[in-house]
Amino acid sequence: MHVSIVPAALLGLAARAAAIDPLVIKGSKFFNSKSGEQFFIKGVDYQPDITSTSQIRDPLADKAGCTRDLPFLKDLGVNAIRVYQTEPFGNHDDCMNMLADAGIYVMLDLSTPTETINRASPAYDADLLGYYQQKIDAFGKYDNTFAFLAGNEVANAANNTDASAFVKAAIRDTKAYIKSQGLSIPVGYATNDDAAIRWQMQTYFDCGSDDERADYYGLNVYEWCGDEATYVTSGYADIVKNYTNWDIPVILTEYGCNAIRPRTFPEVAAIYGNNMTEIFSGGFVYEYVEEDNNYGLVTVKGSSGSKTEDYDNFKKALAAVKPSGVKMSSYKASGKQQDCPKVGTQYDWLASSTLPPTPSNATCECMMKSLSCVAKQTTMPTSTKDLATFGEKV
Rounded CA separation 368/382 (Å): 24
Q: Residue 235's Cα: distance from chain center in Å?
A: 23
User: Measuring CA to CA, which residue among 8, 118, 109, 127 is closest to residue 59?
Assistant: 109
Rounded CA separation 124/241 (Å): 34
Rounded CA separation 197/354 (Å): 19
Q: DSSP letter at 61?
A: G
| Rg for the chain, CA atoms, rounded | 23
Q: Residue 352's Cα: distance from chain center in Å?
A: 23
The count of other CB atoms within 10 Å of the CB of residue 13 is 17
- Do β-strands 80-83 and 280-285 pair in parallel, antiparallel, or remain unpaired? unpaired
Residues labelled catalytic: 153, 254
Rounded CA separation 74/183 (Å): 28
Tell whether the torsion through CA atoms of 245, 247, 251 and 253 is positive or negative. Answer: negative
- Do β-strands 41-45 and 80-83 pair in parallel, antiparallel, or remain unpaired? parallel
Q: How far apart are the first and last CA of the chain?
A: 49
The count of other CB atoms within 10 Å of the CB of residue 338 is 19
Residue 307 bridge partners (DSSP): 298
SS3 392: helix
